[in-house]
Amino acid sequence: MYRKHFKIDENIGHEITQIYLVELNDPNIYEQERFKIIEGEKITYALWIPVVDFERGQRILYPAGVIELLKVIT
């Protein structure tokens, strides 16, 4: 769990992010470029992004600190 305090203008906020390490039931999903995510009636799509893209600054990952966690578990 990551906790972060932040300030926007004069407003102070608090953010909590819960991160879970999961293993997908269908190992074929790891080979797909993109895959469907269904949450109730909402359907979205996700794609795999190499960790190195974040390490090199080619993409941004929020919240700050998650990239260090990914380095440990990959």
Q: Please state, in angstroms and rounded to a whole number, the distance separating the CA atoms of residues 62 and 23.
A: 21
Residue 74 has pLDDT above 80, yes or no: no
Q: Please state, in angstroms and rounded to a whole number, the distance separating the CA atoms of residues 2 and 16.
A: 6
Q: Please state, in angstroms and rounded to a whole number, the distance separating the CA atoms of residues 19 and 1.
A: 6
Please give the residue that has the higher pLDDT: either 60 or 1: 60
SS3 26: coil
User: Quick one: tokens of 21?
Assistant: 């390490």
Give the range among 27-36, 37-46, 60-69 with minimum mean pLDDT. 60-69
| Residue in this structure with the two tokens 């999903």, named with its chain if needed | 29
User: Quick one: tokens of 70?
Assistant: 């990914």
SS3 71: helix
Residue 5's pLDDT is: 75
Average pLDDT over residues 2-22: 81
